[in-house]
Amino acid sequence: MKKIHSAFVTSIDEARLSERRVLRSALAPRRVLVTGGAGFLGSHLCERLLSQGREVLCLDNLLTGRLSNIEHLTSDPKFTFVRQDVASPVAAEVDEIYNLACPASPRHYQADPIQTMKTNVLGALNLLELARQRGIKIFQASTSEVYGDPHVHPQPESYWGNVNPFGPRSCYDEGKRCAETLFFDFHAKHDVEIKIARIFNTYGPRMRPDDGRVVSNFIVQALQNEDITIYGDGSQTRSFCFVDDLIDGFLKLMASGRSLASPVNLGNPVEFTVLELAEQIIDLTGSRSKIVLHPLPVDDPRQRRPDISLAARELDWAPKVSLSDGLKQTIRYFDGLLTQQAHEHAETA
Ligand code: NAD
Ligand code: UDP
Domains and CATH numbers, the chain: 2-202+242-268+305-321 (3.40.50.720)
Contact (CB, 8 A) for 41 and 141: yes
Cα separation, 172 vs 180, whole angstroms: 12
Q: Could you read off the pLDDT of 170-205 as tens digits, one per residue?
A: 999 999 999 999 999 999 999 999 999 999 999 999
d(CA 30, CA 54): 5
Please give the average per-residue pLDDT across 275-288, as a whole number: 98
Quote the pLDDT of residue 19: 59
pLDDT at position 8 is 37
- 315 alpha carbon to ligand 1 midpoint, in Å? 24
Ligand 2 nearest atom to the CA of residue 297, by list position: 11
Instruction: Please tell me the distance from the alpha carbon of residue 237 to that of residue 226, in angstroms, as a whole number.
Output: 23
- Please give the Cα distance from 193 to 126 (Å, whole number): 15
Percent of the chain with pLDDT over 70: 92
- pLDDT given for residue 216 in this prediction: 98
307: left (phi over 0), alpha (psi -120 to 50) or beta: beta
Q: Over range 23-33, report the average pLDDT.
A: 71
Q: What is the pTM of this model?
A: 0.93
Nearest protein CA to atom 11 of ligand 2, as residue: 231
Q: Which residue among 33, 34, 41, 245 has the greatest number of ligand 1 atoms within 8 angstroms of its CB, and so is best to mutate?
A: 41
pLDDT of residue 169 exceeding 70, the answer is: yes
Q: Where are the beta strands (DSSP E) in 252-337?
A: 264-266, 271-273, 291-294
CA–centroid distance, 22 to ligand 1, in Å, is: 31
12-16, 114-118, 133-137: which range is least confident on average? 12-16
Is 98 considered catalytic here? Answer: no
Cα-to-centroid distance, 296 and ligand 2 (Å): 9
Looking at residue 345, its pLDDT comes to 84
Can you give the pLDDT at residue 27? 58
pLDDT band at 6 (very low <50, low <70, confident <90, very high): very low
Which ligand neighbours the alpha carbon of 109 most closely?
Answer: 1
Report the atom number in ligand 2 closest to the C-alpha of 236: 15
Indicate which atom in ligand 2 lies nearest the CA of residue 234: 7
Q: What is the pLDDT of residue 346?
A: 86
User: Of 159, 172, 203, 231, which residue is the catalytic one?
Assistant: 172
Q: What is the distance in A from the centroid of ligand 2 to the CA of 105? A: 9
Contact criterion met (CB below 8 Å) for 174 and 117: yes
* pLDDT tier for residue 83 given thresholds of 50, 70 and 90: very high
The pLDDT of residue 93: 96
